[in-house]
Structure 1
């Protein structure tokens, strides 16, 4: 048990529970290449990162669940292989000795429409939506947001959510190529087709969840493929209406940490209300022999991310009371 020193922290306390994390596996059976900004991507190696992650999580024998922050396959995956590739990666997650909670990312939706993807990922959201919540213990609640609720990808072309997204992009991004931020300034650079937004129904649902969590004195961890704070990520990776979502979250005191993927470099910041925002480093950008995954020890007053290799360890301390 090589990680025994992590089991008990400096105050001699054991964590309430632990959970596993990985993001942006983006596996595809294709040769390596570089991203549009020149960063090397290792498409075949990424599934080995996931395999090593699951092995290590299982060796610890104390992780209650795993969180996958989306983009399990890459958009360059040949479309006739999409279904098999998604299933192959899901099979690796299923080797974990516990439940895995999935989020959808843009690359997932490049490969498969929602009505095919969500059942494979066992995502329990309503009407093809991918937002839901769960409570691993009475003191904590995890809220999974669907950052591609309003999106130009994943829904049928004539779906109201697609039409709303296309209209929105038309207003916000004058470029013919809607994945290009050319000419967009500052935070407006997030208005790209590979991002998305949280719709009105989901916002109302989130409001209800946070009301309930407040009554139950629960501490809330928000999880989304898309980051929710400009301080933790590049401007091009933000949720379209992150400001609207965070304004709602800031009217409550129960949310302690927001976790995300999508921006492969990772990041961490604490916002004006003391909420931690941690964007996780991508498995896809690990050169052969390196890794990016981790697990989180949960305490009454902090989440402690213990990262492996390219995923940085991070202590996220907060006020222990959920209602103050």
Structure 2
């Protein structure tokens, strides 16, 4: 790893996922198999902020990969208070934060409320899907922190039962889709069929044709300009980068678009608190699923700092997160492996 860090990076950025803060005692996940440290997640965010602010090379921005506060806040009428608490920690340094939306954002807030909240980090330009297509409420945009590099933020709950009014056409279509595979009364329980079909649960979602077409158009432009593109989403889209229960509903359609373009180098996601990694054998694209803060014990950490160079990204993890080197894909990229 040290051999890759001898030269000054072009830029660096921080990454953190699944903070899920709530001012409540420790608890457990949905299946009661994992402990969750709701209050302590704020301290782990604090640790990350301190590390980034004390770095010799300060991050240009932070990627917050979704589930910033926990759904338990809603039932306690504490959603706004919890969000303000976490955002105060982020504002302790002047670094720009790009917020991704996960299922817990929609447990706490409506889609319209999120669009008008501080969790809407869409630049006020035509680089967003909403800016390009008037009337759209899809939260997807791209930004360029350095010449030749583009980051695309996707809305993994564009097609979902979450954040949509029960009476809406979007809700009806999402319900029709999930019911084709999941016959459980509680749609948060995965289908009995198992395998990749386990992804059809209520806490997941997918990408509409409108969003996929927009992404295809953005990547066509970055291909032409020979840029390096990193895509971020709350939900993973590669079956080898996560437990299938955490995959986006139509991960295969998203993967097909990535594989049809040459500019994508990395896909980053959260949601699976255990984390995961693979390199796509078709493209050499790196698929990273970041370990979640919420299930990280108080004596550890879960954040990373990524240094970007001309030909690679070097990720230095803290605590549970493993150091990695992401060599940018080339014509000889034909490996597919799990970490």
Q: Normalising to structure 1: TM-score of the pair? A: 0.93
Aligned to 1:77: 73
Instruction: Give 1:122's aligned residue.
Output: 120
CA-CA distance at 1:245 after TM superposition: 0.6
Question: Pairwise CA RMSD of aligned residues?
Answer: 1.6
Q: Distance in 1 between matches of 2:196 and 2:139?
A: 26
1:145-160 correspondence to structure 2 within 5 Å: 145-160=154-169
Instruction: Name which of 41, 52, 63 aligns with 1:67.
Output: 63
142-151 vs 34-43, greater mean Cα deviation: 34-43
Separation in structure 2 between the aligned mates of residue 171 and residue 11 of structure 1, nearest angstrom:
49
Q: Which residue matches 2:125?
A: none
Structure 1 gaps, min length 5:
none
SS in 2 for 1:63: coil
SS in 1 for 2:325: strand
- Does the 8 A contact of 1:301 with 1:320 survive in 2? no
Q: Is the 8 A contact 1:123 1:130 kept in 2?
A: no
Which runs of 5 or more residues in structure 2 are unaligned? 123-127, 131-135, 332-339
Q: Over residues 199-237 of structure 1, what are the superposed CA-to-partner deviations in whole Å (9 max), with x where a residue is unaligned? A: 011011101100110111101001000001010100100
1:293 aligns with 2:303: yes
1:90 aligned counterpart, secondary structure? helix
Cα distance in structure 2, aligned partners of 1:292 and 1:202: 30
From 205, 210, 218, give the equivalent of 2:214: 205
Return the match for 1:221 from 203, 209, 230. 230
Deviates most, 155-164 or 182-191 = 155-164
* Aligned partner (choices 245, 250, 256) of residue 236 of structure 1: 245
Where 2:266 maps in the other structure, the secondary structure is: strand
Contact 1:181/1:191 (<8 A) preserved: yes
In structure 2, what is the equivalent of residue 283 of structure 1?
A: 293
Aligned pair partner of 1:57 in 52, 76, 84: 52
Task: State the SS of the aligned residue for 1:128.
Answer: coil
Aligned counterpart, 1:16? 10
Counterpart of 1:254 in structure 2 is 263
Give distance in 2, aligned partners of 1:256 and 1:84: 38
Report the CA distance between 1:86 and its aligned residue: 1.4
| Cα distance in structure 2, aligned partners of 1:297 and 1:26 | 26
